[in-house]
Amino acid sequence: MAEERIFPTTLSGKSEYFNRCIPYCDTNKVRLVIDVTKIGDLVTGLGTWNGVYPDSINKNLTTKTLRDQRDNLIPQFENGLREIYKDIPQSKLTDADRNTLNLKKPDTTKTPRPKITDVPFAKIAGKEGALMEVTCRTSHDSSRPSIHEDADGVELVYIISDKAPASPGECTKTIFRSRAKFFIQLDIAEAGKHMYGYVRWKNNSDDNKSGPYSAVNGMISE
């Protein structure tokens, strides 16, 4: 399913959104059935943000440490708010809540998904112990893993070999994941070899609408 576009894309927009919506959720946590621990963590983080953010965008005060702190807080806030919004019963949300939090009413009309024409921007990285990290993103998400709005997830076909396959058909293993970032545990005996593969956005209900493959590869580490 397509991910709802909730958060602004600019730093100033994000700061305004966090400072509007985190306190709003905290104030209305009982009515909206929000987990007190989840919103409490975000309120604490917002205090840190408001100490770091102004200096991080001030050319006379900014440092790499400040910018890193700021940039690390953004996914924490966005992922935390996504979890909170997902847990709120739809019946509890008023029009005022939706306008404040930028949450649209669910579309109950099912429309056919189009054929996917984009390839994933993907990479495979070998981690210690023959663990392979696979990360995919769409063309419009440059900073975080993401799933194509018309896909159910990612399909990866791969082979462990000393030679790159000529096509996806030469790969012997196939896996599907609904997340844009995931791990594959391989046999430690394969350390030092290459994992060659192809990834594509997958439509599980109609494979003819799945996207084209993109080649990836990575070295298996001990």
Over residues 3-25, the pLDDT tens digits come to 458 999 999 999 999 999 999 99
Domains of the chain, start order: 11-101 (no CATH), 121-219 (2.60.40.10)
- Do β-strands 194-202 and 214-219 pair in parallel, antiparallel, or remain unpaired? antiparallel
Q: pLDDT truncated to tens, each residue of the chain (222 aa)?
A: 334 589 999 999 999 999 999 999 999 999 999 999 999 999 999 999 999 999 999 999 999 999 999 999 999 999 999 999 999 999 999 999 999 999 988 766 777 899 999 999 999 999 999 999 999 999 887 778 999 999 999 999 999 998 999 999 999 999 999 999 999 999 999 999 999 999 999 999 999 999 999 999 999 998
Query: Looking at residue 25, what is its pLDDT?
Result: 98
CA-CA distance, 37 to 3, in Å (whole number)? 25
How many residues are present in the chain? 222
pLDDT at 62: 96
| Confidence at residue 4, expressed as pLDDT on a 0 to 100 scale | 59
Strands 121-127 and 131-137: antiparallel
Smallest CA-to-CA distance from 90 within 5, 33, 6 is with 33
Q: What is the pLDDT of residue 38?
A: 96
Q: Are 119 and 213 in contact (CB under 8 A)?
A: yes
What global pTM score does this model have? 0.52
Three state DSSP letters for 156-216: EEEEEECCCCCCHHHCCEEEEECCCEEEEECCHHHCCCEEEEEEEEECCCCHHHCCCCEEE
Q: Write phi, then psi, for 195 (nearest 5 degrees).
A: -100, 115
Q: What is the pLDDT of residue 117?
A: 95
Stated as kind and residue range, the H or E segment containing 88 is none
- What is the predicted pLDDT for the residue at 139? 83
Q: How far is CA 4 from CA 101, 104, 105, 177, in A?
A: 12, 8, 10, 20
pLDDT given at position 112: 87
Residue located via tokens 């059935």? 33
